[in-house]
Homo-oligomer: A and B are copies of this chain.
Amino acid sequence: MARRSDHTREQLAELVLGEAQRLVEAEGFKALTARRVAEAVGYSPGTLYNHFKNLDDLVVHVNARTLELLDGELAGAAPTGDPQADALALALAYFGFVERHPRLWELLFEYRLGEGSELPRWFTGRIEAILARMARVLAPLFAPEDTAGVEEAVQVLWASLHGIGSLATSGKLEVVTARSAAQLARSLVVHYVGGLKAARGEG
């Protein structure tokens, strides 16, 4: 029996999250089972349920770490003030992350939680922090009071990048063509933001 003095509560929770992350990166999220995580950390399956409500809860916490990673990646794309160039830099940084951590990205965005599991507020808050990065670079395209316009554009770009990543990681884009996800992202950002600029120029 693993003795509880081996790790403090928090150490064990971190250990579990780390092994879960490793497991997903190595074998995809279908390998993330209670028994395999338990084996990896050297505790019994039941112990996991003393630290996480259920597997969905564990997944959410792994995903929180992934969001941290992603946010760090996006922080490397420093805004220049040109919305089109900055949005493109964010999009390319995003796909740099997807390419480096495809399976963590899958767990973050493709894993469907069970019916009983809602995303906690602290989690959606972290997503909003990432969206705020995009909002900042797009803001110059809109009138200062038009926050709804910025929000809409951010959501369109965010969802669209997500779609490109989704089809790319599931192999459903390569089936149709070998064109890379990053190239599609470039086309999306260049022309969508171009369309926004054109609309603003006319209005």
Residues from chain B with a CB closer than 8 A to the CB of A163 are 159-166
- Whole-angstrom distance between the Cβ of A127 and the nearest chain B Cβ: 7
Contact of A160 among B110, B164, B190 (CB under 8 A): B164
Q: Which secondary structure dominates chain A's binding surface? A: helix
- Encoded as 1 (CB less than 8 Å from any B CB) or 0, chain A from 166 to 203 comes to 11001011011101000110011011111111110000
Residues from chain B with a CB closer than 8 A to the CB of A175 are 119, 124
Residues from chain B with a CB closer than 8 A to the CB of A155 are 173, 176-177, 179, 184
- Whole-angstrom distance between the Cβ of A50 and the nearest chain B Cβ: 26
Contact A191 to B199, CB < 8 A, known contacts A155-B179, A160-B160: yes
**A151 sits at the interface (CB 8 A):** yes
